[in-house]
Structure 1
């Protein structure tokens, strides 16, 4: 299968993967042939890429079980948040079962394809932002060899980090244009509100509460609300802050367009030692790849190729399979390893 931007669909392509809306509903099913109405619906739901079948890339396949776990977890998000906000402690753990299943699966799989496009499959800023932040944080925690209890606690902190924004007026949260100083001061209260909400749940441990309350602290001490620095900041919060910023800037907002995943990735790397813990930024770099398997890249030598393999530790230097020549004529496929061809750079994602 290969990844194709929705803007590049022409119709008649066969979907290689289910398309799920931001609230977890099935929009289009694996195996359906794309038509113009489908393309319009994809744009309507702000889904900016899909996977389609390609006989030259049959060795690239999806993790269907992981996808089903994500879909189920997304559907459970309204119940999770509603139970938290109403203080319904009886059903909190029941609502979290699907999230725990997702976390446990991630922790047990070393070969999951973690890429920054896949995390940001949807272009919205509701439940999916919290779930994306949770998934990314879980991957990082797994790479740190967290045990099951620690990994679940980290995931809970990431999942609940922004729930305090429900106490802030939507006119501020959804404002078009820059916030005033007073409005931003109100926004900066949301870590306190989040802490207040989850502290009412007796089963939530202190480490989760700290991770939530401190997720806007910066490594150099210039964050909020406590202006603490370095290792004074909870490790959960230091992990979550990286994932939170990545998922935030990768989403369209009322006041700006989303960053391309590569731009968001560069922002994380450039903020090492100032906003973020440099050791955890290095972990981020070694965990996530920029260009997903099956994506088509245009290179500086004019050649276009499809990503078929990642180079660990070098997230922006994958192995490509070239199927067409420069004039779009089909050729005998060959591969280019960008790690070994450092004079060639990626120009764009097609």
Structure 2
């Protein structure tokens, strides 16, 4: 097998280029680095284009900005040290992100690009930003509103830069004391951002409230429903989804459809139902390039998605029920309603 899509490290730099042969030792190395999945070249799907949410240059610059600024804060002893250009750098990268996303028609939440998990915080911050912006665009926010929402989501976890690294990266369950420290990141993030002269105060409130839940079970203040700003509610959904679908040292990533189901358990209690409905309609629960099994027993690869019906993709069937090779053909699940996706395949 040959790698079908690049793998990046936590700095946004290419770790492995597409076309690299996936030898046994290399596959073992990727597993040890907690890479949860890869795309591979296949002559039967060479014409399938895997969409990306950002251009490589924008993604790399965004991760570099996040990493540099967050590391400066992590190394500081005073909460204001190293913050002098935070506003300008993040504002500029947000403009680039919005430019990339505005060029897409009906952007959707796809599986994120493969990254190592050495510094999950950087990649997570960018993923949550992208997912939240997809939801904000679908909701109909203006460009100025999207910029504030984007900055709030990009910086929602900035308070974790002041939490001991051994707690942030602990490969297991936190103790009660460690969890108390971790929960403090929301209040710390608010304190960091509220005094930045060119960071909107609302972005600071996003950092403060993104773990609040509409039934009052969240933190840090346990506020309810209308007391929570709607931006923070959007970020809460995106934050939870990315945490579920990311491979971590202590847990295996969920597939998109599993994470959506898990979020729906909290509909009306943890998350607003109308926001989950928009999320459901904008997430590719069967992303392009994913191997799937159909209710007919056949297996194939998702080759295209209709944004208006993301749960009924077009599948290129390549194997029969007994694993026999077939002459590939495509089935449009929007039209063939008697067939459904029954499982994912390795």
Shorter-chain TM-score: which interval?
0.7 to 0.9
Q: Secondary structure at the match of 1:118?
A: coil
**C-alpha displacement of 1:145:** 2.3
Aligned residue runs from structure 1 range 17-166, under 5 A: 17-63=5-51, 66-68=54-56, 69-82=58-71, 86-90=81-85, 92-94=87-89, 96-112=91-107, 114-115=109-110, 117-118=111-112, 123=117, 125-166=120-161
* Structure 1: stretches of 5+ with no match in the other structure: 1-12
For the residue of structure 2 that corresponds to 1:15, the secondary structure is coil
Distance 2:87 2:24 in 1: 42
Is the Cα–Cα contact under 8 Å of residues 120 and 250 in structure 1 kept in the other structure?
no
Which residue of 302, 305, 313 corresponds with 2:300? 305
Residue deviations 1:268-300 (CA, integer Å, cap 9, x gap): 122111111111101100111112112111234
Distance 1:185 1:113 in 2: 35
TM-score (norm 2): 0.86
Distance 1:63 1:173, change over 3 A: closer
SS for the counterpart of 1:56 is helix
Per-residue deviation, 1:198: 1.2
Q: Which residue of 2 is the match for residue 270 of structure 1?
A: 265
Alpha-carbon separation, structure 1, partners of 2:153 and 2:53? 22
Structure 1 range deviating more: 63-72 or 202-211: 63-72
Q: Contact conserved, 1:137 with 1:240, CA < 8 A, in 2?
A: yes
Contact 2:289 2:303 in 1 (8 A): yes
Partner of 2:204: 209
Aligned residues: 337
SS in 2 for 1:302: coil
> What is the CA-CA distance between 1:323 and the residue it aligns to?
2.0
User: 2:345: which partner in 1?
Assistant: 349
Q: String of CA shifts for 1:134-154, please: whole Å, max 9, x gaps.
A: 111111111122222211211
CA-to-aligned-CA distance 1:186-240 (integer Å, 9 cap, x gap): 3222111000111231111121111111101112222112222223211110100
Q: Displacement of 1:105 after TM fit?
A: 1.2
Q: Give me the whole-angstrom Cα distance separating, in 2, the residues matched to 1:62 and 1:156.
A: 27
Distance 1:99 1:31 in 2: 31
Q: In structure 2, what is the Cα distance between the partners aligned to 1:119 and 1:267?
A: 22
Change over 3 Å in CA distance of 1:247–1:120 after alignment to 2: farther
Residues 1:122 and 1:316: Cα distance change in structure 2 (over 3 Å): farther
Q: How does 1:332-347 map to 2 (within 5 A)?
A: 332-339=327-334, 340-342=336-338, 344-347=340-343
Between 105-114 and 129-138, report the one with greater CA deviation.
105-114
- Contact kept, 8 Å, 1:23 with 1:75, in 2: the verdict is yes
Aligned residue for 2:223, secondary structure, equals: coil
**Structure with the larger strand share:** 1
CA distance in 1, matches of 2:53, 2:194: 33
